[in-house]
Amino acid sequence: MADIHVKHLLIGGGLASANCARWLREAGGEGEILLVGREPEPPYNRPPCSKGYLQGKESREETWFRPNDWWEEQRVDLRTRTSVMKLDTAARAATLSSKEVVSYDTALLATGANVRRLNVEGAELEGIHYLRALGNADHIRADADGKNVVLIGGSYIGCEVAASLTASDHASCQIVMQEAVTLERGFGATAGRWLQDRLEEHGIVVHGEDALERFEGADGRVTHVVTKNGKRLEADCVVIGAGVMPDTMLARAAGLQLDDERGGVLCDAQLRTSAPGVWAAGDVCSYDSRPNGRRIRVEHWDVAFNHGKTVALNMLGQEVEHDVVPYFFSDLADWASLEYVGPAQGWEREIVRGSLEEGAFSVWYLSGGRVEGALSVGRSDDLEHARRLIASRAELGDRADALGDRDADLAAL
Ligand SMILES: Cc1cc2nc3c(=O)[nH]c(=O)nc-3n(C[C@H](O)[C@H](O)[C@H](O)COP(=O)(O)OP(=O)(O)OC[C@H]3O[C@@H](n4cnc5c(N)ncnc54)[C@H](O)[C@@H]3O)c2cc1C
């Protein structure tokens, strides 16, 4: 017997669930909404954790999805510090850590992702951090103050944290990474080089084509990072940005189909899971993306946000496909802002439009003559064309050369 019955059960206290709750009301849903999240905080935006919040420019409240009283106004029962321990999709019921059993008509699984932990010698030493939540950002800011910080990983977490700590005079930073240039895996060597130059001109030292071997410490605290190439870097504080793993624990135990290749919960184009009445969204959702023409799983803010809306509409019976081309943004302090649409899964050709020297350019990633992704620094308007070209799946052939000619009209492509 259930203790509570709700129309909509939203599992996970992150952005995807929060925006789903919002859209359930905006689209006219009147039924009970219960949003269950493990963290102590109401739903908040994670991007400031490596940017404004880490720099001390943004308050905790400013990161929140909505102010505290909004949830009550919208008649959303928000349970923080509460986990969903068990999901029985046949009975359409969930058991909470409070021991209450909740029955539902529709459920959203938006359990997000957890950081990938590195198990090397010395990994247990104090002063070694990961960054996923506001609490992690608090610890990093306090611990990094005035110190030598080593960032492990050259992707956006490592780069953004290095930029934020340097720009706010908190620390002097070095990055150790496997890539030859920062952010290369997602955005290629040209954009990666340009972004690395921005870090280096502010004094950040980047060690590329290397990797973490082990940590050394004294009195239980980290003192050095030793790399595979034999470098021994002074480190009073370390931040590891080695990617995330979708949190499929609950979904797996509930017997939902998973995507073994990409990780995450297997969903169709409407974001429906294999269980009737259950959708997935955000970092945990592997879905059939119509505009990209293939299955994808994306760990971006905008994707979680828009997934939440699609699921809300579908919970209300609209049966819409998720048709938004994934978008990503990143800031290296106030030195550089990048935006990206895609994701390109691998590409044969990169075309630069605009000027790297002037810091206003876009990079276009093509495979088989089709645009698969595009990055912009200071040329946001280009991304509108990129979205259209990605979704059209048009083979451009020789016409692709126009992408590199800043006087050519992209609307004509
Ligand atoms: C530091 C940082 C900076 C970022 N910067 C950017 C950026 O600049 N641009 C960008 O596009 N993206 C960025 N991202 C990524 C973006 O924030 C994520 O893609 C987004 O937060 C995913 O939202 P989500 O709702 O799917 O998952 P999450 O935000 O992970 O939320 C899931 C929540 O569910 C909870 N949960 C899990 N299991 C249960 C359970 N069984 N019961 C109850 N609760 C549970 C988790 O504790 C978590 O609070 C950043 C991420 C981080 C960590």
The pLDDT tens digits of the residues spanning 33-53 come to 999 999 999 999 999 999 999
Question: Cβ distance 150 to 144 under 8 Å?
Answer: no
Coil, strand, or helix at residue 404? helix
Token pair, residue 411, equals 């609307």
Contact 325, 390 (CB under 8 A): yes
- Indicate if ligand 1 lies below 6 Å from the C-beta of 130: no
Q: How far is the CA of 241 from the centre of ligand 1 (A)?
A: 14
pLDDT at 323: 97
Q: Backbone dihedral region of 184: left (phi > 0), alpha (psi from -120 to 50 degrees) or beta?
A: alpha
First to last CA, the chain: 60
Q: State phi, psi for 54 to the nearest 5 degrees.
A: -65, -35
Structure confidence at residue 334 as a pLDDT band (50, 70, 90): very high
Give me 387's structure tokens.
């979205």
* Minimum CA distance residue for ligand 1 atom 16: 301
What pLDDT was estimated at residue 354? 97
CA of 43 to the centre of ligand 1 (A): 9
pLDDT tier, 171 (very low <50, low <70, confident <90, very high otherwise): confident
Task: Give which of 243, 329, 257, 323 is closest to 286, Cα–Cα.
Answer: 257
15-26 vs 301-315: helix crossing angle, rounded to 10: 40
Task: Report DSSP state, residue 276.
Answer: T
The verdict on the CB of residue 37 being under 6 Å from ligand 1 is: yes
pLDDT of residue 225 exceeding 90, the answer is yes
CB 285 less than 6 A from any atom of ligand 1 = no
What's the pLDDT tens digit per position in 11-41? 999 999 999 999 999 999 999 999 999 999 9
Query: Model confidence over 63-116: pLDDT tens digits?
Result: 999 999 999 999 999 999 999 999 999 999 999 999 999 999 999 999 999 999
Residue 252 confidence class, pLDDT cut points 50, 70, 90: very high
pLDDT digits (tens, 9 = 90+) for 110-152: 999 999 999 999 999 999 999 999 999 999 999 998 899 999 9
Best residue among 22, 39, 46 to mutate for probing ligand 1, ranked by most atoms within 8 Å of CB? 46
Q: What is the mean pLDDT of residues 310-337?
A: 98
d(CA 193, CA 188): 9
Answer yes or no: is the C-beta of 291 below 6 A from any ligand 1 atom. Answer: no
Closest Cα to atom 34, ligand 1: which residue? Answer: 12
Is residue 169 pLDDT above 90, yes or no?
no
Q: 138, 161, 174: which is closest to 331 by C-alpha? A: 161
CA 378 to centroid of ligand 1, rounded, Å: 27
**Is the beta carbon of 350 within 6 A of some atom in ligand 1?**
no
Pocket test residue of 20, 38, 141 for ligand 1, highest count of atoms within 8 A of CB: 38
Q: Is 339 in the pocket of ligand 1 (CB under 6 A)?
A: no
Looking only at the bridges linking them, the beta strands covering 33-36 and 212-218 are unpaired
Residue with structure tokens 């932990």? 117
CA-proximal residue: ligand 1, atom 50 (nearest):
47
Strands 294-296 and 336-341: unpaired
The rounded distance, in Å, linking the Cα atoms of 194 and 132 is 26
- CA of residue 299 to ligand 1 center, whole Å: 8
Dihedral over Cα of 398, 402, 403, 404: its sign: positive
3-state SS class at 383: helix
Of the candidates 76, 77, 86, which has an alpha carbon nearest to the alpha carbon of residue 109? 86
pLDDT band at 200 (very low <50, low <70, confident <90, very high): very high
Please count the other Cβ atoms lying within 10 Å of the Cβ belonging to residue 397.
8
What are the tens digits of pLDDT across the range 364-405?
Answer: 999 999 999 999 999 999 999 999 999 999 999 999 999 999
**In terms of Cα–Cα distance, which of 350, 413, 410, 373 is closest to 293?**
373
Is the CB of 19 inside a 6 Å radius of any atom of ligand 1? no
- Checking if the pLDDT of 170 tops 90, the result is no
260-300 confidence digits (pLDDT tens): 999 999 999 999 999 999 999 999 999 999 999 999 999 99
- Does ligand 1 have an atom closer than 6 angstroms to the CB of 132? yes
User: What pLDDT score was predicted for residue 284?
Assistant: 98
Backbone angles phi, psi at 385, to 5 degrees: -65, -40
Which of 14, 16, 53, 15 lies closest to 331 in space, CA to CA?
53
Burial level of 153, CB count in 10 A (0-12/13-18/19+)? Answer: buried
pLDDT at 324: 98
Query: Does the pLDDT of residue 1 top 90, yes or no?
Result: no
List, as one string, the DSSP characters of 170-231.
SEEEEEE-SSSSTTHHHHHHHHHHHHHHHHHTTT-EEE-S--EEEEEEETTEEEEEEETTS-
Q: Does the Cβ of 250 fall within 6 Å of ligand 1?
A: yes
Ligand 1 nearest atom to the CA of residue 97, by list position: 42
Q: How high is the pLDDT of residue 295?
A: 98
Per the CB < 8 A criterion, the answer to whether 223 and 216 are in contact is: yes
Residue by residue, what is the 3-state secondary structure of 94-157?
Answer: EEECCCCEEEEEEEEECCCEEECCCCCCCCCCECEEECCCHHHHHHHHHHHCCEEEEEECCCHH
Eight-state DSSP code of residue 44: B
Coil vs helix vs strand at 91: coil
Q: Which atom of ligand 1 is nearest to the CA of 12?
A: 34
Q: How far is the CA of 401 from the centre of ligand 1 (A)?
A: 38
pTM value > 0.75: yes
Euclidean distance between CA atoms 187 and 225, whole angstroms:
27
CB 308 within 8 A of CB 22: yes
Cα of 122 vs centre of ligand 1, distance in Å, is 28
Q: What is the number of the ligand 1 atom nearest to the C-alpha of 283?
A: 26
